[in-house]
Structure 1
Amino acid sequence: MSTFPDPSLDPIRRPSLDWVFKKPWRLLAFGFGTGVLRPGPGTWGTVLAWVLWVLGLQLLSDVQMAVFLPLAFLIGCWACHRTGYDLGISDHGGMNWDEMVAFWLVLWLIPQTWLAQGIAFALFRFFDILKPPPVRYFDQRLHNGFGVMWDDILAAAYTLLVMAILVRFGVLA
């Protein structure tokens, strides 16, 4: 694959659901289609991640989750890179597999209550949108699939730090 994005391509600003479903890496990068939803495609991807967690991912053992998350991250690097190349935009806002993987990491490591999950959802979206340092630094400097995925892992780290403080001080059990 050549350098990114290909200057000979006209960037696709608003991909259609049909475009997303034509290639498996696009489908994955766009969170099974949630990335075309407006407003807030990242929020829709995070909602889908939460739904998938409730529907079954939470049943994975710690060992299974410790294998699943790095694999989902690596596959996401590949899928987001390929999709960004197809779009001509390295970090398109509709690519939300990064939110999904990062939020699964958060959900795995927090108390399994609706209250904790709701707070974690709000915190994760806050940090993902605000991009406090060093999240913004990496978001601006890292490109391709790894860059797309990495800044959301950092937003998850901020979320986990705040959640740990809330648990430590007895706000959450």
Structure 2
Amino acid sequence: MSQNPLDKLSLSNPIHFLALGFGSGLAPKAPGTFGTLAALPLYWLMADLSLGVYLAITLVVCIAGIYICDKASKDMGVHDHGAIVWDEVAGLLITFIMLPTGWIWWLIGFALFRLFDILKPWPIRWLDARVHGGFGIMIDDIIAGIFALICVQAIAASGIIA
């Protein structure tokens, strides 16, 4: 009988705890969505920071994520296991760069990020299939976050939603 890869991780290990999105990646259904939800309190803590500080923290989350996701993936013996959701945390923080004020923008950004992360339009799907390791785990969600960021900013600039 094969061992469940999740049995190889421990929430008491800080790298595993982060890779699993503070435990949210352990959700039995839609762990990526739960991982994205886990990013919301982190964003809330960062929302009032200056743009420069917000960008610096987001960059650290992305760069550290390469190691975090790679380590957890290797510890599990599975590349990009669904429970590894630190990439979703990074992707949502990218989506929310300069997010307009109001809960509607949280919903729009969240929905757009999940849409791009799930549908994986080019080049996201191409990168997801060809780039491996921690960088491979992170890059598709980073690009999905950039796509969602562009859409959120375009909607905001259009004035469709006040």
Any stretches of 5+ residues in structure 1 without a counterpart? 1-9
The residue type equivalent to 1:15 in the other structure is: L
Deviation at 1:109, TM superposition (A): 2.4
Q: Is residue 105 of structure 2 the alignment partner of residue 88 of structure 1?
A: no
Any stretches of 5+ residues in structure 2 without a counterpart? none
Deviation at 1:69, TM superposition (A): 1.2
How far apart are the structure 2 equivalents of 1:13 and 1:153? 28
1:30 corresponds to? 20
Deviations 1:97-123 (A, max 9, x none): 111011012112221211111011111
Q: Is residue 78 of structure 2 the alignment partner of residue 123 of structure 1?
A: no
Q: TM (normalized to structure 2)?
A: 0.91
Deviation at 1:171, TM superposition (A): 1.4
How far apart are the structure 1 equivalents of 2:4 and 2:88? 20
Q: Is residue 92 of structure 2 the alignment partner of residue 103 of structure 1?
A: yes
Contact 2:73 2:80 in 1 (8 A): yes
2:155 corresponds to? 166
Deviates more, 1:31-40 or 1:158-167: 158-167
1:7 corresponds to? none
How far apart are the structure 2 equivalents of 1:61 and 1:11? 49
Contact 1:11 1:89 in 2 (8 A): no
The residue type equivalent to 2:59 in the other structure is: P
In 2 relative to 1, CA 131–13 (structure 1 residues): closer, same or farther, beyond 3 Å?
farther
- Matched positions, count: 162
CA RMSD of aligned residues (A): 1.9
- Secondary structure of the residue aligned to 2:116 is helix
Moved over 4 A (4+): 10-14
Q: TM (normalized to structure 1)?
A: 0.86
The residue type equivalent to 1:109 in the other structure is: M
How far apart are the structure 1 equivalents of 2:129 and 2:149? 23
Q: Is residue 29 of structure 2 the alignment partner of residue 39 of structure 1?
A: yes
Equivalent residue for 1:15, pick from 6, 31, 35: 6
